[in-house]
């Protein structure tokens, strides 16, 4: 059993804390948001992530919550930095929270500590954390800094943590390597041990590569549409080549969420700062922005005149099993249509609460049937399981016009055409 402290009880911190406790470790979760800590102490989880509440409850005896960072530092041997690194206006990562935490750690160390960065940070942050600690130390105390990036997907984060393809550990000492290898041993996953800078780069490079795969297939989809080919078949044929792989080749409305857009931007920015123009990343971003405009155009083309038409959105979140609306493609698409005078209705199983903040003008509905009623066009935006087997025969009888825009290629085009829909997918 290791004594761990997680500084930053956001998405990454909470999932990691719950999972480290599940592996038998003692965990202190810290956050400076008193409201959040109070809620967590009362078994209320501030984010929607399937299974997280149960896992926190199950391991309650090994988990404690506090707003007091010193308490966490004093009572643990391994300190994980899981604070936010939000994008600044120029796209670079704002590392002020990381610096603040490093300074606090330096001032309160009471013996050897292993300080591990889990937040997504640009390369060379580990070095800065080390320098910051050395500069602010109250008295000389031994410590190590390590990088241990996370690869958690929202909606499957607990599964991803407990069943990783690999664990990446960036270290500069044998002791740090030993401690982290032991901590992750129960997962029985391959462990990649590298220097700190390489570990930091693995995170940015992995996310940017996945984003590139999506923009690539979306570009292929656009060519498919021009010649009447089927992108799902092209992706299937490509993906069977093991060097390419099947995943992340689903054409759609473009990637969203907090990670891909932010990491892409930050990776471009840090490369530029280091004197390298990583042009591919700019193009990946451009294709993604254009894809949202193309979907809005597809809707407009199907309706001819947008003004005063009712458009029904099935799903709003950037992907299923999350309530996260950050950078969701639905926001850009809906805003384009709204500006042109469309009446927007929407239903999402989880994200409507958050969507209301960005899009107060949308009429939010209680279920799929209510949203589709009297619609001139139905748009499948997020591939929630709940939408898989909708009664499209019934929906056909309640819509004003049978136009179905399937931005995720979720439905069978033939079936929809047989039911009388004008069906439009992406790239097929
Ligand atoms: C991502 C990474 O996968 C994860 O490793 C990292 O730690 C955080 O960022 P997440 O943002 O939760 O995870 O979502 P992910 O499942 O990767 O999907 C991201 C976006 O890409 C979604 O908008 C999704 O709809 C889109 N996507 C994904 C596609 O459009 N096509 C695909 O084939 C796959």
CB 235 near ligand 1, within 6 Å: no
Report the nearest atom of ligand 1 relative to the CA of 152: 7
Catalytic residues: 259
Report the nearest atom of ligand 1 relative to the CA of 319: 25
- For 380, half-sphere exposure in the C-beta direction (CA atoms, 13 angstrom radius) is 26
- Token digits for 192? 């990649």
Place of tokens 């935490």: 101
Helix or strand run (H / E) with residue 18? helix 11-22
Closest-CA residue, ligand 1 atom 9, reads: 259
Strand partners, 79: 5, 115
Report in angstroms the alpha-carbon separations of 270 from 46, 207, 287: 32, 15, 21
Give the residue, out of 319, 384, 408, 427, with the most ligand 1 atoms within 8 A of its beta carbon, to mutate for a pocket test: 319
Q: What is the secondary structure of 87-122 as a DSSP string?
A: B-TTS-B--HHHHHHHHHHHHH--S-EEEEE-S---
Report pLDDT for 305. Answer: 95
Q: Are 404 and 336 in contact (CB under 8 A)?
A: no
- Token digits for 379? 């748009």
Q: Are 166 and 135 in contact (CB under 8 A)?
A: no
Which of 321, 240, 330, 254 has its CA nearest to residue 286? 254
CB 249 near ligand 1, within 6 Å: yes
Closest-CA residue, ligand 1 atom 13, reads: 153
Q: If you measure from the C-alpha of residue 313 to the centroid of ligand 1, how many angstroms do you get, rounded to a whole number?
A: 20
Phi first, then psi: give them for residue 342, nearest 5 degrees.
Answer: -75, 155
Report pLDDT for 389. Answer: 94
Rounded to 10°, the helix 259-273/196-227 angle is 120
Q: If you measure from the C-alpha of residue 122 to the centroid of ligand 1, how many angstroms do you get, rounded to a whole number?
A: 20
CB 214 near ligand 1, within 6 Å: yes
CB 248 near ligand 1, within 6 Å: yes
List, in sequence order, every beta strand (DSSP E) within 20-112: 26-30, 63-66, 78-81
Report the nearest atom of ligand 1 relative to the CA of 263: 9
Domains of the chain: 3-194 (3.40.50.720), 209-424 (3.40.50.720)
CB 409 near ligand 1, within 6 Å: no
Give the residue, out of 148, 163, 216, 257, with the most ligand 1 atoms within 8 A of its beta carbon, to mutate for a pocket test: 257
Q: If you measure from the C-alpha of residue 255 to the centroid of ligand 1, how many angstroms do you get, rounded to a whole number?
A: 7
Could you give the residue ranges of the DSSP H alpha helices within 163-278?
A: 174-184, 196-227, 231-239, 259-273
Per the document, the length of the chain is 428
Per-10-residue mean pLDDT for the chain, 428 residues long? 96 97 98 96 92 96 97 96 93 93 95 95 94 94 97 94 98 98 97 97 96 98 98 98 97 96 94 97 98 98 97 97 94 98 97 95 98 98 97 98 98 97 98
Q: If you measure from the C-alpha of residue 211 to the centroid of ligand 1, how many angstroms do you get, rounded to a whole number?
A: 8
Alpha-carbon distance of 236 to 246, in angstroms, equals: 7
Report pLDDT for 138. Answer: 87
Report the nearest atom of ligand 1 relative to the CA of 153: 12
Residue 158 C-alpha from the chain's centroid = 13
- Token digits for 102? 């490093």
Residue 66 C-alpha from the chain's centroid = 26
CB 259 near ligand 1, within 6 Å: yes
At a CB cut-off of 8 Å and minimum separation 6, what does 115 contact?
Answer: 79, 81, 102, 105, 129, 133, 143, 144, 145, 146
At a CB cut-off of 8 Å and minimum separation 6, what does 297 contact?
Answer: none
Closest-CA residue, ligand 1 atom 14, reads: 153
Which of 326, 332, 309, 310 has its CA nearest to residue 407? 332
Report pLDDT for 48. Answer: 86
Q: If you measure from the C-alpha of residue 153 to the centroid of ligand 1, how many angstroms do you get, rounded to a whole number?
A: 7
Q: If you measure from the C-alpha of residue 172 to the centroid of ligand 1, how many angstroms do you get, rounded to a whole number?
A: 31
Q: Are 260 and 203 in contact (CB under 8 A)?
A: no
Q: Are 82 and 118 in contact (CB under 8 A)?
A: yes
Give the residue, out of 200, 252, 292, with the most ligand 1 atoms within 8 A of its beta carbon, to mutate for a pocket test: 252
Q: If you measure from the C-alpha of residue 11 to the centroid of ligand 1, how many angstroms do you get, rounded to a whole number?
A: 15
């Amino acid at each position: 059993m290791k004594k761990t402290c997680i500084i930053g009880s956001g998405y990454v911190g909470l999932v990691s804390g719950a999972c480290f406790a599940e592996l038998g470790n003692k965990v202190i979760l810290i956050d400076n948001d008193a409201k959040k800590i109070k809620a967590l102490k009362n078994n209320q989880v501030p984010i929607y992530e399937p299974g997280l509440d149960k896992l926190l409850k199950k391991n309650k005896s090994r988990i404690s919550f506090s707003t007091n960072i010193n308490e966490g530092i004093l009572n643990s041997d391994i300190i994980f930095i899981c604070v936010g690194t939000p994008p600044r206006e120029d796209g670079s990562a704002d590392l002020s929270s990381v610096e603040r935490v490093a300074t606090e750690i330096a001032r309160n160390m009471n013996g050897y500590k292993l300080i591990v960065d889990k937040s997504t940070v640009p390369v060379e942050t580990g070095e800065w954390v080390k320098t910051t600690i050395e500069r602010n130390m109250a008295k000389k105390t031994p410590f190590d800094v390590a990088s241990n990036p996370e690869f958690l997907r929202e909606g499957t984060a607990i599964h991803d943590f407990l069943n990783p393809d690999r664990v990446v550990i960036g270290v500069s000492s044998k002791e740090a390597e030993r401690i982290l290898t032991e901590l992750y041993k129960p997962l029985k996953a391959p462990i990649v041990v590298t220097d700190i800078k390489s570990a930091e780069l693995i995170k940015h490079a992995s996310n940017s590569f996945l984003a590139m795969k999506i923009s690539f297939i979306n570009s292929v989809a656009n060519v498919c549409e021009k010649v009447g080919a089927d992108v799902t078949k092209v992706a299937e044929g490509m993906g069977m080549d093991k060097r390419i792989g099947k995943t992340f080749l689903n054409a759609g409305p473009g990637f969203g969420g907090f990670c891909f857009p932010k990491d892409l931007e930050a990776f471009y920015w840090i490369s530029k700062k280091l004197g390298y123009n990583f042009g591919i990343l700019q193009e990946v971003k451009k294709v993604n922005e254009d894809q949202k405009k193309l979907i809005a155009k597809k809707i407009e083309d199907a309706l001819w005149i947008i003004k005063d038409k009712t458009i029904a959105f099935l799903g709003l979140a950037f992907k299923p099993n999350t309530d996260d609306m950050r950078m969701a493609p639905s926001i850009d698409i809906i805003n384009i249509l709204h500006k042109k005078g469309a009446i927007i209705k929407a239903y999402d199983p989880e994200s409507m609460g958050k969507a209301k903040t960005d899009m107060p003008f949308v009429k939010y509905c209680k279920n799929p049937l209510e949203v589709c009623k009297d619609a001139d066009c139905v748009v499948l935006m997020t591939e929630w399981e709940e939408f898989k087997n909708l009664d499209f025969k019934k929906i056909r009888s309640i819509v004003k016009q049978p136009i179905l825009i399937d931005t995720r290629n979720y439905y069978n085009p033939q079936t929809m055409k047989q039911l009388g829909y004008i069906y439009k997918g992406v790239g097929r």
